[in-house]
Amino acid sequence: MGILSLISGWPGPSGFGSASTAEQVSDSIDASDLTVIITGGASGIGLETTRVLAMRGAHVIIAARNTKAANEAKQIILENNKNAKIDVLELDLSSLKSVKAFADNFKAHNLPLNILINNAGVMFCPYQLSQDGIEMQFATNHLGHFHLTNLLLDKMKETVAATGKEGRIVNLSSVAHLYTYEEGMRFDKINDKDSYSDKKAYGQSKLANLLHANELARRLKEEGANITVNSVHPGLIMTDLMRHSYRSIRIFKVFTFLLWKNVPQGAATSCYVALHPNLKGVSGKYFVDCNEYPASNFATDPELAKKLWDYSHNLVNSLQLS
């Protein structure tokens, strides 16, 4: 993710780069036999990912907190693609109860699950606690996706066994994982209000997305499961995700405008990692501009990944019992 390649859009080893769009990276790929769940698939790069996956023939399930907005987004896509297969199910990632209800609802539809894209998130929000009493960015960006993935994993394994097709899980992380608290993950201070930093808390949650993907990839490899798990950085894109820091982000963009992407470019890496045949068997990697890229030392620390897994598992169990 060199500055020159970001500015120029020159393709990397994959043949794609920062200027590539979601349509370009998925060109000629037939996804008509795939079922995809995407969280936050009704706005921003999630909506573009939904649109392009549906264009390639996939049956897309939009998991969204605001089902009214999601159904409106669905209708917009259908206006331009009458054959699109899209359904909407309610999901509030900041609530473990809602995550469980979503998973049960999806399973009740007796659908297969080939691809899970953990896309939704909140960014730079003021200090607040989730319904379960957990700092909101950690709860929404990591813990909700951690629980959702675990609840859906058996369904994906069943689909892999029935179809012989590789399952894929994609976590949307961010280059912001580099900008976290000094200790990386503050397991003993997740809810500490006095030392809370909206930006470092966001970075911590994005680091958690990477660590989660890496540890799950390791576990699935050890198990011999035909499922890959990878993380992606979509790039700098102006979307509603930045609503809590809109003014400062606008000022920042003035001085860094050459590094920013539009929404079709921002959705490219998600679509590439979810669909492209060149990534068959590739797991536990971090992708930027549709190319594998080294993550931070914290992100590639296997012991930290295991510690986060155990911490998240125990936290979910304790919150469900409370």
> Tokens 């470019």 correspond to what residue?
265
Model confidence, pTM? 0.92
Is residue 230 within 8 A of residue 285, CB to CB? The reply is yes
Is residue 281 within 8 A of residue 181, CB to CB? The reply is no
Q: Which residues pair with 64 in a beta bridge?
A: 90
Can you give the pLDDT at residue 10?
A: 81
Q: What's the Rg (C-alpha) of the chain?
A: 18
Can you give the pLDDT at residue 253?
A: 39
User: Rounded to whole angstroms, how far apart are CA atoms 240 and 247?
Assistant: 12
Report whether CATH 3.40.50.720 matches the domain 3-321: yes
Beta strands 286-288; 227-233: pairing state? parallel
Q: Could you tell me which residues come within 8 angstroms of residue 31 by beta carbon, excluding any fewer than 6 positions away? A: 53, 56, 57, 58, 275
Can you give the pLDDT at residue 249?
A: 46
Can you give the pLDDT at residue 198?
A: 97
Beta strands 286-288; 291-292: pairing state? antiparallel
Strand boundaries in the chain, DSSP class E = 35-39, 59-64, 85-90, 115-118, 167-172, 227-233, 286-288, 291-292
Q: Is 196 a catalytic residue?
A: yes
Annotated catalytic residue, options 181, 196, 293, 311: 196
Nearest to 95 by CA among 120, 128, 132, 127: 132
Can you give the pLDDT at residue 254?
A: 40
Q: Which stretches of the chain score pLDDT less than 50?
A: 1, 3, 239, 241-246, 249, 251-258
Q: Domain segments of the chain: what residues? A: 3-321
Can you give the pLDDT at residue 2?
A: 53
